[in-house]
Structure 1
Amino acid sequence: MDVDAQEPPATKVDGPKTGASRKTRSPAGSMRLSEIAALAGVSEATVSRVLNRKYGVAQKTRDQVEAALREVGYERSVKGEIVLILTPSLKGIIFSEMADEIETRLSPHGLRAVVCPVFPGTIAEQDYVEMLIDKGIAAAIFLSSSNTLRNSDPVAHQLLESRGVPFLTINGSFAAVEAPAISTDDWQAAELSVAHLHELGHRRIGMMAGPTGNIPADRRVEGYLTSMDSRGLTDAEDLVVRVHYSIDGGRSAADELLNAGATAIIASSDDMALGAYRAIRRRGLDVPGDVSVIGYNDTYMLEFTDPPLTSVRQPIEAIAELCTRTLVTMVQDRPVRTEETLVEPELRVRRSTGPVRSS
Structure 2
Amino acid sequence: MTDASVSKLPESSTQRPGKKTRSPAGSAKLSEVAALAGVSEATVSRVLNRKYGVSPTTREQVEEALRQIGYERPRKGEIVLILVPGLKTPIFGEFCNAIEADLSPHGLRAVIGPVLPGSVYERDYVEAFVDTGIAAAIFLSSSNTLQNADDSARALLESRGVPYLCINGGFAEGESPVISTDDWRAAELAVEHLYDLGHRRIGMCAGPLGNIPADRRVEGFLNAMDARGIEDAEDLVVRHHFSIDGGRYAADALLDLDVTAIVASSDEMALGAIRATKRRGLRVPEDVSVIGYNDSYILEFTDPPLTSVSQPVEHISQACARTLVTMIQNRPVRTDEMLMEPALHTRNSTAPVRTA
Q: For residue 282 of structure 2, what is the aligned residue in structure 1? A: 285
| Structure 2 residue 210 is the aligned partner of structure 1 residue 213 | yes
Q: For residue 315 of structure 2, what is the aligned residue in structure 1? A: 318
Question: Is residue 75–residue 107 contact of structure 2 (8 Å, CA) maintained in 1?
Answer: no
Distance 1:7 1:242, change over 3 A: farther
Aligned match of 2:272 in 249, 270, 275?
Answer: 275
Map 1:1-359 onto structure 2 (within 5 A). Answer: 81-359=78-356
Q: What is the alpha-carbon distance in structure 1 between the residues aligned to residue 166 and residue 2 of structure 2? A: 26
Question: Is residue 292–residue 352 contact of structure 1 (8 Å, CA) maintained in 2?
Answer: yes
Q: What is the alpha-carbon distance in structure 2 between the residues aligned to residue 126 and residue 249 of structure 1? A: 28
Could you tell me how far 1:89 is from its partner in structure 2? 1.0
Q: What is the alpha-carbon distance in structure 1 between the residues aligned to residue 212 and residue 2 of structure 2? A: 38
Question: Is residue 295–residue 309 contact of structure 1 (8 Å, CA) maintained in 2?
Answer: yes
Question: Is residue 167–residue 180 contact of structure 2 (8 Å, CA) maintained in 1?
Answer: yes
Letter in structure 1 aligned against 2:95: M
Could you tell me how far 1:108 is from its partner in structure 2? 0.7
Partner of 2:344: helix, strand, or coil? Answer: strand
Q: What is the alpha-carbon distance in structure 2 between the residues aligned to residue 324 and residue 6 of structure 1? A: 29
Could you say what the CA RMSD is over the residues aligned between the two structures, in angstroms? 2.0
Q: What 5-or-longer segments of structure 1 have no aligned partner?
A: 12-44, 46-76
Could you tell me how far 1:193 is from its partner in structure 2? 0.4
Distance 1:10 1:182, change over 3 A: closer
Distance 1:352 1:91, change over 3 A: same
Letter in structure 2 aligned against 1:215: I
TM-score, normalised on structure 2?
A: 0.79
Q: Deviations over 1:223-261 (max 9, x none)?
A: 000100111111101100000000000011110000011
Could you tell me how far 1:105 is from its partner in structure 2? 0.8
Letter in structure 1 aligned against 2:250: A
Matched residues, number: 292
Distance 1:339 1:9, change over 3 A: closer
Question: Is residue 307–residue 349 contact of structure 2 (8 Å, CA) maintained in 1?
Answer: yes
Could you tell me how far 1:306 is from its partner in structure 2? 1.1
Distance 1:280 1:5, change over 3 A: farther
Distance 1:249 1:7, change over 3 A: farther
Letter in structure 2 aligned against 1:159: L
Query: Which portions of structure 1, spanning 4 or more consecutive aligned residues, are displaced by more than 4 angstroms?
Result: 4-11, 77-80
Question: Is residue 80–residue 138 contact of structure 1 (8 Å, CA) maintained in 2?
Answer: no
Question: Is residue 80–residue 137 contact of structure 1 (8 Å, CA) maintained in 2?
Answer: no
Q: What is the alpha-carbon distance in structure 2 between the residues aligned to residue 328 and residue 131 of structure 1? A: 22
Letter in structure 2 aligned against 1:135: T
Could you tell me how far 1:6 is from its partner in structure 2? 9.3
Could you tell me how far 1:176 is from its partner in structure 2? 3.4
Partner of 2:139: helix, strand, or coil? Answer: strand
Could you tell me how far 1:152 is from its partner in structure 2? 1.2
